[in-house]
Amino acid sequence: MRQQRPITITGGKLVTPDGVRDAAIRFVDGNIVEIGGEAYDGDLTVDAKGRLVAPGLVDLGVFAIDKPAFHFGGITRAALMPDQSPPLDLPSRISYIAKSGKPDFWVHPLAAASRGMEGREIAELALMRDAGARGVATGRQWIPDSGVMLRLLQYAAMLDMVLIAHAEDAALVGGAVATAGEIATRRGLPSAPAAAESIALARDIALAGLADARIHFRQVTTRDGLEIVRAAKARGAKVTCGITPAHFMLSDLATVDFRTFARLSPPLRSEDDRHAVREAIADGTIDVIASGHDPRGPEDKRLPFSDAEPGMAGAETLLAMTLSLVRDDVIDMRRAFELVAATPAGILGVDAGVIMEGYEADIVLVDPDKPWVIQSARMEATAGNTPFDGQPTQGRVTAMYKGGVEIDC
């Protein structure tokens, strides 16, 4: 799949690292070649009609590849977590996954940190890097052995690979499905203290400092945890962190009716923690907003809350939920696409997520005001387990280009 003809998009509002401006963009042979010029003779000219012209989203840390859902959401690349069956702990599996989405979608596999995702024996990271892994990940698990974690960080640092970590102390979490507090107590749900997150963060940041390694926490969801990350950044630690829309849109109040679409990992937190997340997005403590895409069918969700599997189908709602932060004046449009495109691409080390000359032409046209209603039964994902079911929202991708080729979305 190659771009057959030069394309110039005019009449749009270009989202660049410097802000949003009226400008044309031209791409040839799959790459952005000019910003701010005019169409050449022979170009296919596309009128954006005032819509946003933005970089394709880069989704950092999904659990399933679901191309129709990703295309709907304007996602052109995704980093796949190693929690697969079988796990991504061998070079052959990494190589297969790295080729699996092409040509209309790029999958960046993350290497399993340990063999079998068991947290004991470090996997062959160097061979998996050579096979196409763009990072290392502990998956949904926390590695309890500090010695193993330190050696893992040292190995990742030697290879210049980022480690994507899950921040919950496993011994404190156990079989918990909710955050300890009034809601969990009233509903009789097995719960764990929110401090399980901050304890894990403190240890892993300290070990990353000893190893001089880059560490990214896929989700930091509590006020205390965010304070730890904020302080680590202030002293120069190589730490970044992310969040999914569920944790800045919802709190544990969403679990009062035992609806398993709100059964997530980490679990929904208190209202105070939700506000802390929004503050951290605004002040730059949080670097990435990702979908956490993890579609689960009725066999996993149509169960008692404590028995249901965690996860949500998030690819289709990622952009709309992030744009809600712009409408609420939490962030501006430039920052929104930094969170969902530029920074995740930078963490993975790929030339994407930014509208820049020489980068691949992964482009989306977005109508930020287009209204629609999220309906789980009509989602493109393999399952519609969204906690936002029935919610009116705004912001839709109206056209999408992958490597300069238009993709149905």
Query: How does the average pLDDT of the chain come out, rounded?
Result: 96
What is the phi/psi pair of residue 290, to 5°?
-125, 165
Q: For the domain 56-351+380-389, what is the CATH superfamily, name and number?
A: Metal-dependent hydrolases (3.20.20.140)
**What stretches of 212-294 show up as alpha helix (H) in DSSP?**
223-234, 245-249, 271-283
Q: Is the pLDDT of residue 1 over 80?
A: no
Q: What local confidence, expressed as pLDDT, does residue 371 receive?
A: 97
Q: What local confidence, expressed as pLDDT, does residue 408 receive?
A: 87
The two tokens of residue 143 are: 């590695």
For residue range 268-277, list pLDDT tens digits in order.
999 999 999 9
Q: Is the pLDDT of residue 143 over 80?
A: yes
Q: Is the pLDDT of residue 265 over 80?
A: yes
Residue 3 pLDDT level (bands cut at 50, 70, 90): confident
Taking the C-alpha atoms of residue 133 and residue 122, their distance in angstroms, rounded to an integer, is 15
Q: Is the pLDDT of residue 226 over 80?
A: yes
* Residue at token pair 């057959």: 4
Q: What local confidence, expressed as pLDDT, does residue 39 receive?
A: 87
What b/e string do you get for 312-322 counting C-beta neighbours within 10 Å, with b at 16 or more? bbbbbbbbbbb
For residue range 6-26, list pLDDT tens digits in order.
999 999 999 999 999 999 999
For the chain, what are the domain ranges?
Answer: 56-351+380-389
For residue range 337-388, list pLDDT tens digits in order.
999 999 999 999 999 999 999 999 999 999 999 999 999 999 999 999 999 9
**Cα distance from N-terminal residue to C-terminal residue, the chain:** 17
The identity of residue 329, as a single letter, is D
Q: Tell me the CA distances in angstroms from 387 to 64, 114, 138, 261, 394, one per residue in order.
A: 18, 32, 25, 5, 16
* Count of other CB atoms within 10 angstroms of residue 376: 16
For residue range 147-186, list pLDDT tens digits in order.
999 999 999 999 999 999 999 999 999 999 999 999 999 9
**What stretches of 28-124 show up as alpha helix (H) in DSSP?**
67-72, 91-100
For residue range 240-259, list pLDDT tens digits in order.
999 999 999 999 999 988 88
